[in-house]
Amino acid sequence: MGRCDDCHSYSSATLFCAQADSKRMLKDMALALQQNPTQACVVWELAGCVSSAVGAEEYKLYLVNNRDLEQLEVYLGKDVRFSNDERKFQILGPNVSLAQFVAQTKKPLRFSRGDPDPRFRNWLLLKPVMKLDGTVVAVMELCKQEGATPFHEEDQDIASSYLDWGGIALQYTHLYLSINNQRCLKDFLLTIVNDESRDICVSPQQFKQWFPKRHSTFGISQLTKRCDLVSIFQNILSMDALVIKVMKFAQRLVDADRASLFLVDSKNKQLYARIWDVGVHNSDDSTDMDEKFNIDANVSTLKEIRFPLGSGIAGQVAVTGKVVNITDAYCDPRFNRNIDQLTGYQTKSILCMPILIRDEIIGVVQMVNKHSGKFTKEDEEAFEMFAVYCGLALHHSQLYDKIANSEQKYRVALDILSYHNTCTEDEVEQFSKQEKPNIMPGIDEYYFDVFALDDFEKARHAIYMFKDLFGEIKFNKNSLVRFTLTVKKNYRRIPYHNWTHGFSVANSVFCIIKHSPNLFTTNEALAMYVGSLCHDLDHRGKNNKFMLETESPLAAIYSTSIMEHHHFNQTVTILQQKGHNIFSKLTSSEYKQVLDNIKHCILATDLAMFFLNKTTLNELVTEDQFSWSNHEHRLLLKALTMTGSDLSASAKPWDLQMKTVRVIFEEFYEQGDAERDSGRIPNSMMDRRQPDQQAASQVGFLTGICVPCYNLLYRLIPTTKPLLDQCEANLKRWIEINEEVMKSKEEQLRQDKEQSLQREEEDIVSESSSGGGENNESKEYSTAKTKVSGCREEKINQKDIDKETRKDNITNPTNTSGEISAGGGDEIEDKSSQNEHNCEHSSLTKNC
């Protein structure tokens, strides 16, 4: 009883003390978490509380390695640890310590009752420290000297109660550390990929936050110095510089002694590197960070090192895509010892990881010999995230190399193109030596015949018109000659959109400016004239719709007004050629103003723009709101003037109009042929199999576009009245031609019907004759004749109705939408005539 009472008294007293100390323990642990929020610190504070509660004279703490429970490390608090060769363990059995036994079994161990084990002179109590999920993080060893009161079962219960609270603290500590490490790692990675080059000063505390298990003297002393953490995206121009930078950052991240980065050659199935073994001096004498990370002194540069995929550790990582963490390289059969024998360097630990982009391995980075022990799981996780940034940097660098290579090829091609598409000095000299041309009379009239001049004479007349409008004071003569000859050379030899068309449009602008002096400012007139001369540069004889449907590279460059943007771009390219800038004597503001106006004028030749401009201008003129002082109104007028000049072939005398129409349709038919070759069906006006559609399409084009354009232009610029008059006269001629074509088609159709009816009559008579009996034959013959006559009469009546309907449509055409151009610009097709023909054909076929 006495003994039981003593035990009861001891237990009660102990439990009372434990309860009294629990509040203090929680307060001390919370304070410790604030000062040093690491798992080891929390467990150390917990061990101290337990030791005090059970009256232990001393205590030890063994931290468990995450990878191997048999690897324990003595922890003495205040961030001090034994080195590998100073670790001491008390052995229980062969190669097994008490702490290792407790860590493996997760059960406490107490030497307190009966005779003490002769192998242990002291009283011991060992308890596993576990998180809530049962993971062992440490082993606590409490000790009392020989002769002291042994540990009782109640001491073990007290320790368990403390550790239960400690498990909760450890769980929250783990969560806090995970979040904090992610934040710190994010800050480090953002520092690396920062777009600006800057100096970053890293304090010891900040380094410890970034790398909680890497606070070696080496790491802290290096990163507390000012070092240029230049973005890995900053110097992306050089692949070698980028590789060095990636390896330097990787070294700092995992505190490695050396680093190598190998890139994958997918074509030859090899890994290769020109720069490898980036190393850092281990001497502590050097205080200059730049010297510590001296690339020239610590980088092995070879012409190139290559080895097949699957060879060595890096080669296997490139094949499998799996991370390899080797604690002892010489114990791993994959390690190639020959490299150490050749270099005299001893490899101990290796961390090798693939670099991926879009699930494709583009490289392998290899870290060698961690300064503070072995590469840990935390090193792997941090390095895996860093590898993503490495992959992006390398991928962008490779893309940059491809772009830079393409740019060089582009420059070579542009240089060749410029040589062949730019006039030579011999041409300029020969052109300048020739006598002044005899300017053809009527060049300033709207009826001027551009077909009467050859190409060089057109160039001379273009220069004459330029000088006549703007003089020679502000323009260099030789530059003007070079510019004009090069413009001529850059028009392709296609049926319609060629140098002749460009000159014709420029001549029309010249006439409008000459007939209405002081209507436009000098810079406006200059932009309109140069823009008209260049408005179809490098035209391919195909419209914008064709470019889109065939997925032309030009369609990929320009989203709207494809060809017009290209024409302007070619104009600027010519102006930038040496000796071609005719605006060199203009001020910078004048140059910008003229260039902006040229772009506006060239884009205005897209007929899609005309319909928008026409609606706005028509409202302004109708409501008498147009103002010559309004900048936007003047832009609309310049656009309308460009459209009218581009369509001027429709306002030329009849013989010139016919010449133009022939070459226009030849170009249309070439596009139609190209569409048919690609498996598409061309519309009727571009189908050379339907030449009878020319007149109908011209009627629709002139009615819906040209006449409204010149009518509106005449209301704003009265001197353009001849354009409207001639266009209306040409329209009348086309209507007459279209009527003749329709009559001819009707006559041909009537003859075809008569022949068809004749054949039907003959067939019926033939069938009746082969029947039998004279009376029967006569009766059937009479019936057949009546049937044929009725059919013929019905078809003739229907023909008269269709004829009247077609006559109505010809004299009052209304459908003007589509894609055909008889005077220039993007083509507008009139589908009204084709629809009428289809209706007529369908009706006749049905009646038959």
Cα–Cα distance, 825 to 818 (Å, whole number): 13
> CA 84 → CA 73, 88, 220, 823, distances in Å?
8, 9, 21, 92
What distance separates the 2 farthest-apart alpha carbons in the chain?
A: 155
Cα–Cα distance, 631 to 619 (Å, whole number): 17
646 is in an annotated binding site: yes
* 3-state class (DSSP) for residue 797: helix
* 3-state class (DSSP) for residue 689: coil
210 is in an annotated binding site: no
* 3-state class (DSSP) for residue 303: strand
* 3-state class (DSSP) for residue 145: coil
C-alpha triplet 498, 504, 509: angle, nearest 5°: 130
Cα–Cα distance, 508 to 532 (Å, whole number): 9
DSSP annotation of 355 reads E
199-200 and 136-144 strand pairing: unpaired
Q: Which residues, other chains included, contact 473 with Cβ-Cβ below 8 Å and sequence gap of 6+?
A: none
| β-pair partners for 125 | 110, 142
Residue 91 phi, psi dihedral angles, 5° rounding: -90, 135
140 touches 50 (CB < 8 A): yes
Cα–Cα distance, 722 to 763 (Å, whole number): 61
808 is in an annotated binding site: no
Q: Which helix (H) or strand (E) holds 300?
A: strand 300-308
272 touches 304 (CB < 8 A): yes
199 is in an annotated binding site: no
525 touches 513 (CB < 8 A): yes
Cα dihedral value 770, 774, 780, 781, nearest 10: 80
633 is in an annotated binding site: no
Q: Which residues, other chains included, contact 115 with Cβ-Cβ below 8 Å and sequence gap of 6+?
A: none
209 is in an annotated binding site: no
Cα dihedral value 296, 300, 306, 311, nearest 10: -140
DSSP annotation of 770 reads T
536 is in an annotated binding site: yes
Question: Residue 443, Cα to own-chain centre: how many angstroms?
Answer: 51
Rg of the Cα trace of the chain? 47
**Both tokens of residue 686?**
């571009």
* 3-state class (DSSP) for residue 59: strand
Cα–Cα distance, 376 to 323 (Å, whole number): 12
Q: Which helix (H) or strand (E) holds 139?
A: strand 136-144
366 is in an annotated binding site: no
Q: How many other β-carbons are positioned within 10 Å of the β-carbon of residue 49? A: 22
Q: Which residues, other chains included, contact 847 with Cβ-Cβ below 8 Å and sequence gap of 6+?
A: 794, 795, 798
698 is in an annotated binding site: yes
Cα–Cα distance, 408 to 404 (Å, whole number): 6
241 touches 377 (CB < 8 A): no
**Both tokens of residue 245?**
């930078």
Nearest Cα residue to 79 out of 210, 215, 175, 255: 215
Cα dihedral sign for 489, 493, 496, 500? positive
Residue with tokens 């290579």: 405
For 624-648, b/e burial (b = at least 16 CB within 10 A) is eebeeeeeebbbbbbbbbbbbbbbb
Residue among 152, 371, 396, 497 flagged as catalytic: 497
Cα dihedral sign for 589, 592, 597, 600? negative
565 is catalytic: no
Residue with tokens 């309004």: 630
Known binding-site residue numbers for Zn(2+): 501, 535-536, 646
Known binding-site residue numbers: 497-501, 535-536, 646, 698
Known binding-site residue numbers for AMP: 497-501, 536, 646, 698
Which residues are catalytic, by number?
497
